[in-house]
Amino acid sequence: MFNKRTKIKQLLQSEQTGHEVTVMGWVRTFRNNQFIALNDGSTNNNVQVVVELGLLDDATLKRITTGASLKVNGIVVASVGKGQSIEVKAKSLEILGDSDAEKYPLQPKKHSLEFLRHIAHLRFRTNTFGSVFRIRHSLAFAVHQFFNDKGFVYLHTPIITASDAEGAGEMFQVTTLPIDGSAPKYPDGSINYNEDFFGKPTNLTVSGQLEGELGAMAFSEIYTFGPTFRAENSNTTRHLAEFWMIEPEMAFYDIEDNMNLAEEFIKYLIQYAMDHNRDDIEFLSQRLAEEEKQLPQDKRSELGLIEKLEFVLNNAFERITYTDAINILLESNHYKKKKFTYDIKWGIDLQSEHERYLVEKHFKKPVIVTGYPAAIKAFYMRMNDDGKTVAAMDILAPGIGEIVGGSQREERLDKLEARMKDMHIPAEEMSWYLDTRRFGTVPHAGFGLGFERMVQFVTGMTNIRDVIAFARTPKNCEF
Ligand code: ATP
Ligand code: MN
């Protein structure tokens, strides 16, 4: 058997000595023709492999370069060197794969995140991305743990959809018709989608919510966790064209139950990473502190990453209405000094500068905003008794802005139909959705958490492109 190895994380944790082990991994550094720092991705900590003089011939020694992969068999001994309590004294060493030192792009020095984005196929091998992607994994696992423990059913909603009513963002069309102009057309020149693969126009999903609601009307509580696609033509540090979203949908929940669940969920995810990825979070915390030293004092965060996470865990999220939010903004010195780019008045969609002011300057903690004007929100959100606002809730997080968007859904058929008519949403095409209101409708609610934004929050990474393996953004689809 080839793969009888000890993972480096496990080896370093056990601190036992005297026994024989096999370790495999990639060379990070090789010093004095004697000390190899070997990493296998299980942790950022390398194991030191000591190659005693005379064990290997010169030709083999030359092949131990940064990035080369090795299989090492040896004895675990106490280390006299600094920074590690044990090391492996090699008995035999096999080079599994060479790595040409002249050509290998990852040198043992600090590279910029920007540079690493261009070599995203290799960046997993750096400490920063090792930590980020182990945390991403943990958070994904924790999502399932959280909902499974609560008895939610994991529903796989479709990736290809024919419904364009959600209106959550611009969609990518899915078609097998030729795009060179030769697609079958009607006499008036419009495309005959009867001839297309599905016999109608289809898109990549922007949200699994509408299908999620169908599930909630049978299982009571469901969640989805899958990829979503938005042809967002905005180059920001918080938008991707392909991102992962978690969307729980619950029958017998009102807006308050919804907020409570979302807050509990976010805290659970943070706590899970703190408990299971402490080393990685500590590493990233230091990295962020280093990075922020370059910034002017007023641009630096008041709290370090770990302190920020602890603070969020230990404090209730602020809960305010949209109307409160507008008033706070209007009364701020920031507004009086005309420092906002976008105008503020009741009815506007809060811009990211407004959201950031509320969480970063005013409250200095996550904020849940409810009761948005109906006019700026989707058709399915429940109308409040004032007839002007809907039972929507957005959660805004420091450094990120909107991390969750959700609402109590309109369960009253007549109100929902009227709203759809107002918004020119064809009721015939949405008949399947309206059936849930026709047959045993119940109060229900749900929300969407952007998974990458959550990973950004926990890792402190400022650019969303650095928390997904291979980012899809406008004019960029590499790897
Ligand atoms: P934003 O105003 O930031 O564009 P949104 O209002 O379009 O967000 P929703 O439609 O409510 O967002 O989607 C639910 C969640 O999905 C958001 O709170 C956010 O966390 C995440 N999200 C939305 N769009 C993107 C995107 N393009 N890339 C990554 N995450 C996203
Ligand atoms: Mn958006």
Shared-domain flag, residues 346 and 459: yes
Question: pTM, whole model, 2 decimals?
Answer: 0.96
- Worst-scoring range by mean pLDDT, 111-120, 124-133, 158-167, 255-264? 158-167
| Residue pLDDT, tens place only, 196-245 | 999 999 999 999 999 999 999 999 999 999 999 999 888 899 999 999 99
Q: What is the band of 298 on the pLDDT scale with cuts at 50, 70, 90?
A: confident
Q: Residue 104: phi, psi to the nearest 5?
A: -65, 120
Ligand 1 proximity of 86 Cβ (cutoff 6 Å): no
Q: Whose CA is nearest to atom 24 of ligand 1?
A: 239
Q: Examine the pLDDT at 180 and tell me if it is beyond 90.
A: yes
Tell me if 243 CB under 6 Å of ligand 1: yes
- Tens digit of pLDDT for each residue in 363-391? 999 999 999 999 999 999 999 999 999 99
Tell me: do 147 and 63 sit in the same domain: no
User: What range does the domain containing 210 cover?
Assistant: 125-171+206-466
Range 412-434 average pLDDT: 94
Q: Is the CB of 395 inside a 6 Å radius of any atom of ligand 1?
A: no
The CATH number for 83's domain is: 2.40.50.140
Q: Please check whether residues 152 and 50 belong to one and the same domain.
A: no
CA 326 to chain centre: 29
Q: What is the chain's mean pLDDT, rounded?
A: 95
Ligand minimally distant from the alpha carbon of residue 349: 1
Q: Both 165 and 261 in a single domain? A: yes
Output the six-digit token pair for 282.
């500590």
Q: Is the CB of 404 under 6 A from ligand 1?
A: yes
Ligand 1 pocket test: which of 223, 239, 400, 468 has the largest number of ligand atoms within 8 Å of its C-beta?
239
The two tokens of residue 131 are 């930590």
Structure tokens belonging to residue 327: 């008033």
Predicted pLDDT of residue 245: 98
Q: Give the CB-side neighbour count of residue 314, counting CA atoms within 13 A.
A: 6
Tell me which residue has its CA closest to atom 3 in ligand 1.
Answer: 402
Give me the CATH number covering residue 231: 3.30.930.10
Burial level of 412, CB count in 10 A (0-12/13-18/19+)? middle
- What's residue 232's pLDDT? 86
Q: Is the pLDDT of residue 11 over 80?
A: yes
The 10s digit of each residue's pLDDT in 441-474 is: 999 999 999 999 999 999 999 999 999 999 999 9
Residue 305 counted as domain residue: yes
Give residues with Cβ within 8 angstroms of 440, minimum separation 6: 217
Indicate if 87 and 215 belong to the same structural domain: no
Residue 474, domain member (yes or no): no
Query: How far, in Å, is the centroid of ligand 1 from the Cα of 448?
Result: 8
Contact 405 CB / ligand 1 (< 6 Å): yes
Asked if residue 36 is part of any domain, the answer here is: yes
Any atom of ligand 1 within 6 Å of the Cβ of 208: no
Amino acid 231: pLDDT: 94
Distances (CA, A) of 434 to 41, 374, 444, 445: 49, 20, 14, 16
Is 479 inside a domain boundary?
no
For residues 251-278, b (16+ Cβ closer than 10 Å) or e, as one string?
bebebeebbebbbebbbbbbebbeebbe
pLDDT in tens, 331-366: 999 999 999 999 999 999 999 999 999 999 999 999
Residue at 252 is within a domain: yes
Which DSSP letter does residue 44 get?
S
Q: Residue 12 in 3-state DSSP?
A: helix
**Which residues in 261-397 belong to E strands, given as ranges?**
318-321, 367-373, 389-397
Is the same domain home to 305 and 395? Answer: yes
